[in-house]
A and B are shown apart, each in its own frame.
Chain A
Amino acid sequence: MRGLRKAGVVAVFLLPSAVPLLLFIIVPMVSSAWISLHEWNLISPMKWVGLRNYADLARDGDSRAALLHTLEYLVGYLPLVYVGGLSIALGLNRVMPGRNLLRGVYFLPVVTSWVVVALVWKWLLNPSSGLVNDLLGRIGVPGPGWWTDPAWAMPSVILASAWKDLGYVMVILLAGLQSIPAEYHEAARIDGAGAWQRFTQITFPLLTPSTYFVVIISLINGFQVFDQVFVMTGGGPAGSSQVLVERIYDQTFRYGQVGSASALSWVLFVVILGVTLVQGRLQRRWVTYA
């Protein structure tokens, strides 16, 4: 009787979260794997094709291109946002009047939705009447076509994304900087270490746990990049900026290739998992814990 009552208590506390997690994460996960083994357009009955969707993906130029564009995004975005965020964090990590106000301003884009950020930047980077090209024109530089030019579409997305996330990286790194004991710096100063030396020998090594965190989160989020690309370029022009999640979206809702979209989802999941695991292993070599 007591055991039964105890089980009842556990159920009361656990079921409100267990049922939704089961229904909206675990079941879809399993059904996604199942769908990926079929040919299906959401309407007619599913047709079993085994692993053919996966085999086709390897040969599918559009999906490969989407993977490449996603990597291109990461390669452009990550250094930009990290170096930018680190510079701001280092600068704002000192006691100065107005420091909190400045932090608040740098953080503002983080709370803004991606759709708003994408639209505002799309307007700033408008090739004919946007502000950026107008300013470039005044100093005699012909501005590029930005999101209308296949070569510049992805850089446009990267620029807007880095602007939005700078404040986020800043906050994470500031928290890391504040956990470095001030005595370390003082001891080094007494030993005659200059500012640059203190940065490379103390600050940067002790900041590696936060750096690791920023890198992991940025990689996980970066592989799932969608909103800003969808709004700014729609994957274009001519597919030149289509990323993985957008490809999944298109395959499902435009081309009705749900099986192959599910297969691509699983590839994306495995890639994210793989990158996280590999980073988890690599971190032992470069992350210093104080």
Chain B
Amino acid sequence: MRSPLPRRLGWYLLFGTGAALMLFPFLWSVASSFEPAGSVLDKPRLIPRHPSLDGYRTFLSALPFWRLLANSMGLALCSTVLQLVTSSMAAYAFARLEFPGRRVIFGIYLATMMMPLQVLVVPLFVEMKQFDLVDTYAAVLAPTIASAFGVFLLRQAIVAVPRELDEAAVMDGAGHLRIFATVILPLIRPALATFAVFAFMASWNSFLWPLVIIRSPEFMTLPLGLSNLHGQYTTEWNVVMAGTVLSVLPIILLYLAAQKYVVQSTALTGLK
């Protein structure tokens, strides 16, 4: 059933305007980033009257941008791969292996999901200090090596795989590691992709933990670098906006490339 034309036009007008409002802050930051230095107290316009690259130049000289980008990207990739490996293995154990205490241990895993990192920041910092890991990549990665949530999500996926498939492999003399790698993993690829998107975004956007544990500029992630930059260039908004534009670009490109998976991941996991 198609609705009448005026109603359809109204729909486009309403939700198109809404979408424009969602996009506008991004456009505005792009526009402001091209304002010349020292013009910030004048009212910026959507099309700058004297477009200039001052903001970008200052930004790139104030921050080791490429280094920060590589840090953010590298840490996000490492943490995603680590979580995929550790979570899928544990998920296999809880779904397929029989061992005493399985339920209790799974219960403890789930309980750790209740403990937000925000609450653990102080003791984690103290622990890293004892391990002498403050201001290292390892410390940033440490709390993201394993994820109880990932175990939970992937276990659901493995439970849904028919057991006959593993049994056929057992007949062929395959051990658990082989069944896991050659039978189970290929079959739960959609769940792995969903979780990978989630883990990557969580690491890419994380702020509080890197803020607490990182001191040196060369180990900083993009959000941390930007926040610091804002502290130095409080009134030079063209510089700050150039920074936001450059640091938001990679994730937007990634999002456009994998949009279906990203939105699906949110709908399925309920997390962002």
Q: Which residues of A contact B (CB under 8 A)?
A: 6-7, 9-10, 12-14, 16-21, 23-29, 31-32, 35, 42, 88, 91-92, 94, 96, 98, 102-116, 119-124, 126, 128-129, 131, 134, 163, 166-168, 171-172, 174-175, 213, 217, 220, 224, 226-227, 230-231, 245, 248-249, 252-253, 258, 261-262, 265-266, 268-269, 272-273, 276
B-side residues, CB < 8 A to A, are 8, 11-12, 14-16, 18-19, 22-23, 25-26, 28-29, 32, 40-44, 85-87, 89-90, 92-93, 97, 99, 105, 108-109, 112, 114-116, 118-127, 129, 142-143, 145-148, 151, 175-177, 180, 201, 204-205, 207-208, 211-212, 222-224, 226-227, 230, 237, 240-241, 243-244, 247-248, 251-252, 255, 259, 262-263, 266-267, 270-272
* Main SS class of interface, B: helix
Q: Which residues of A contact B243 (CB under 8 A)?
A: 119
Q: Are B122 and A96 in contact (CB under 8 A)?
A: no
Partner of B118, one of A13, A167, A268: A268
A123 touches B32 (CB 8 A): yes
30 of the cross-chain contacts (CB-CB < 8 Å) are: A13-B92, A14-B105, A17-B146, A17-B151, A20-B142, A23-B142, A24-B146, A32-B123, A35-B122, A35-B126, A42-B129, A91-B11, A96-B8, A98-B12, A105-B22, A105-B23, A108-B252, A110-B266, A113-B204, A113-B248, A116-B226, A123-B29, A129-B42, A171-B267, A226-B118, A230-B207, A231-B230, A248-B121, A252-B125, A258-B126
Known: A119-B244, A269-B119. A230 touches B227 (CB 8 A): yes
Q: How far is the CB of B219 from chain A (nearest CB, A)?
A: 17
A115 interface neighbour in B15, B201, B226, Cβ under 8 Å: B226
Residue of B43, B127, B248 touching A28 (CB-CB under 8 A): B127
B89→A14 contact, CB < 8 A:
yes
Q: Which of A91, A258, A265 has the most CB of B within 10 A?
A: A265
